[in-house]
């Protein structure tokens, strides 16, 4: 069957199996920035944004992407033009093995879109589905706070 | 495990409820509904060859008024959690917030929780206690089913080929209260024990009516009728609640699993029930 959707801002039309999940088809089409972790919706490594809302792509059928806007970490920025969250992640040292990083940053992006200056509790709740087994959560939380401060300062300057 | 199900032959995206019901009725056991996808995409029986995706039907609306809540079956738990924050003293929002992580709640739907028939679906426990009405569309029309039926039957037996369209939760009345308590090791995990309670008090704070439901241990919720009977006519004081908890501990027969053994679950179900009733009584008193 065919699905049409937006992926990282580009219109796509893909032929997919009716029983395929989104994680599989994204990776089969070269989007290996979406990581395969637990395959049970528990670890958050495969997080994507669906119309701006983070969810695990391993527990989403490919057909559910029809008409939606899917964003992977590659849609946020890259090494030459990183998103402020990616920049902050590097600066505060929130990466160790990096496997959880794409999912964490996408969850953080959705949080900042909803709550530009989140409390620590809001940050912890937003990251509750993204497990990290090496760095832990202190540095990612720090990176999100830093990004929020920077984006709000920028906004303040622009608004003035 | 999540993954690829090569035995699925068709993925349907009906554009109307009639179309969806017709598909479910045509393919019966060979069809499964895709709501949020969190259960279907994880595990799909080999008999299922047709998936029926309901996301184009506009069933995700949530309406909260003093008269009650109309909760669209396709509303995800995060949406309900936010919209129902002030309803029933926050108990509905609180129950939704205990289901999985934020990523799960962004996807899992209310209708999916009601239909899945899995021990870790907590929402039917609360909906039964609140005596919500579940609207089920079938080829011969729409039926309002009491969520209390979820305490005695598997959802698949209640629903057949029907499709849940919405849940209607009655509005909060001043002398009524509800409570929900889930025993879990970390926020969002499957519960060791779950209980939900609803009480009505008279002007002397005596319980005149009560519903007490347990979950987390079997494919459907379990009504704790004997505990309800013990609570009606009492004021839900510490002595009564201790008695009720010990009664549950002796009579409730949950299954063991690798995480929690039966004895622990029995004890914790008593604790959860006691705390849910305490919450419900406090809400009923505070609502006056």
**DSSP codes, B115-180:** HH--TT--HHHHHHHTT-EEEEEETTEEEEEEGGGGGTS-HHHHHTT-EEEEEEEEPP-TTEEEEE
Residue range(s) of every CATH 3.10.20.30 domain in chain A: 2-75
Q: Which of A40, A54, A107 sits opposite B2 (nearest CB)?
A: A40
pLDDT at A69: 98
Interface of A with B (CB under 8 A): 1, 17-21, 23-24, 39-42, 44, 47, 53-56, 58-61, 63-64, 66, 107, 125-130
| Least Cα separation, residue B52 to chain A (angstroms) | 10
| Least Cα separation, residue A157 to chain B (angstroms) | 32
Q: Using the beta-carbon criterion (under 8 Å), do B13 and A66 form an inter-chain contact?
A: yes
| Least Cα separation, residue B5 to chain A (angstroms) | 5
**Is residue B85 within 8 angstroms of chain A, CB to CB?**
no
pLDDT at A122: 95
Within 8 A of A18 by CB-CB distance, chain B residues are: 8-11, 51
Q: Which of A1, A47, A59 sits opposite B41 (nearest CB)?
A: A59
Within 8 A of A2 by CB-CB distance, chain B residues are: none
Pairs of CB atoms within 8 A across A/B: 102
CA–CA separation, A132 and A97 (whole Å)? 9
How large is the ipTM? 0.93
| Least Cα separation, residue B98 to chain A (angstroms) | 11
pTM reported for the whole predicted model: 0.94
Tell me the per-residue pLDDT of A81-115, one tens digit each, with 9 for 90 and over.
999 999 999 999 999 999 999 999 999 999 999 99
**Is residue B15 within 8 angstroms of chain A, CB to CB?**
no
| Least Cα separation, residue B8 to chain A (angstroms) | 5
Q: Using the beta-carbon criterion (under 8 Å), do A129 and B7 form an inter-chain contact?
A: no
pLDDT at B57: 97
pLDDT at B3: 66
Which residues in chain A show pLDDT less than 50? 158-160
pLDDT at A160: 39
Q: Which of A59, A70, A115 to mutate to probe the B interface, most B CBs <10 Å? A: A59
Q: What's the CATH class of domain A84-154?
A: mainly alpha
Residue B22's contacts (CB-CB under 8 Å, 6 or more residues apart) are B139
pLDDT at A159: 44
**Closest residue on chain B to A58 (Cα):** B2
pLDDT at B173: 93
pLDDT at A83: 97
Q: Using the beta-carbon criterion (under 8 Å), do A59 and B37 form an inter-chain contact?
A: yes
A2-75: CATH topology is Ubiquitin-like (UB roll) (3.10.20)
Check if the beta carbon of residue B73 is closer than 8 Å to that of residue B164: yes
pLDDT at B2: 52
Residue range(s) of every CATH 1.10.150.120 domain in chain A: 84-154
Q: Using the beta-carbon criterion (under 8 Å), do B107 and A19 form an inter-chain contact?
A: no
pLDDT at B254: 87
Mean pLDDT, consecutive 10-residue stretches, chain B (288 aa), reads: 82 97 95 94 93 97 94 97 94 95 96 89 95 95 95 91 96 96 87 95 97 88 95 97 95 87 93 97 87
- DSSP per residue over chain A, as a string? -EEEEEETTEEEEEE--TT-BHHHHHHHTT-TTS----SSSSS-TTEEEETTEEEEGGGSBGGGGTT-EEE-GGGT--SSS--HHHHHHHHHT--SS-SSHHHHHHHHHHHHHH-SS--HHHHHHHTTT---SSS-SHHHHHHHHHHHHHHHHHHHHHH-
pLDDT at B89: 93
């Amino acid at each position: 069957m065919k699905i049409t959707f937006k992926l990282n801002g580009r219109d796509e039309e893909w032929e997919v199996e009716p029983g395929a999940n989104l994680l599989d088809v994204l990776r089969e089409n070269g989007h290996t920035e979406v990581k395969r972790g637990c395959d049970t919706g528990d670890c958050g490594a495969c997080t994507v944004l669906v119309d701006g809302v983070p969810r695990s792509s391993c527990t989403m059928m490919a057909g559910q992407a029809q008409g939606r806007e899917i964003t992977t970490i590659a849609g946020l920025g890259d090494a030459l033009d990183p998103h402020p969250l990616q920049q902050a992640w590097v600066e505060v040292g929130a990466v160790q093995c990096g496997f959880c990083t794409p999912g964490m940053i996408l969850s953080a992006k959705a949080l900042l879109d909803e709550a530009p200056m989140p409390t620590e509790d809001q940050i912890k709740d937003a990251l509750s589905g993204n497990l990290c087994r090496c760095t832990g959560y202190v540095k990612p939380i720090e990176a999100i706070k830093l990004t929020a401060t920077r984006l709000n300062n920028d906004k303040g300057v622009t608004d003035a | 495990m999540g993954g690829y199900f090569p035995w699925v032959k068709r993925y349907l995206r009906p554009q109307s409820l009639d179309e969806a019901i017709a598909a479910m009725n045509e393919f019966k056991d060979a069809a499964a509904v895709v709501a949020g996808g969190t259960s279907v995409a994880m595990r799909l029986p080999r008999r299922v060859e047709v998936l029926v995706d309901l996301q184009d039907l506009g069933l995700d609306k949530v309406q909260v008024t003093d008269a009650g809540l109309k909760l669209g079956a396709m509303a995800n738990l995060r949406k309900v959690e936010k919209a129902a924050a002030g309803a029933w003293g926050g108990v509905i929002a609180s129950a939704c917030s205990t289901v999985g992580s934020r990523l799960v709640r962004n996807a899992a739907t209310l209708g999916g929780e009601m239909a899945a028939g899995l021990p870790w679906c907590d929402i039917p426990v609360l909906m039964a206690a609140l005596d919500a009405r579940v609207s089920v569309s079938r080829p011969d029309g729409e039926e309002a089913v009491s969520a209390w039926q979820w305490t005695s039957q598997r959802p698949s037996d209640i629903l057949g080929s029907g499709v849940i369209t919405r849940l209607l939760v009655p509005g909060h009345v001043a002398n009524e209260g509800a409570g929900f308590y889930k025993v879990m090791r970390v926020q969002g995990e499957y519960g060791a024990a779950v209980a939900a309670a609803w009480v009505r008090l008279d002007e002397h704070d005596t319980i005149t009516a009560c519903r007490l439901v347990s979950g987390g241990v079997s494919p459907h919720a379990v009504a704790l009728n004997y505990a309800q009977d013990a609570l009606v006519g009492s004021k839900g004081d510490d002595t009564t609640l201790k008695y009720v908890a010990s009664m549950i501990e002796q009579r409730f027969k949950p299954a063991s699993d690798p995480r929690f053994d039966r004895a622990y679950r029995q004890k914790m179900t008593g604790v959860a029930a006691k705390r849910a009733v305490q919450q419900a009584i406090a809400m009923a008193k505070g609502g006056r």
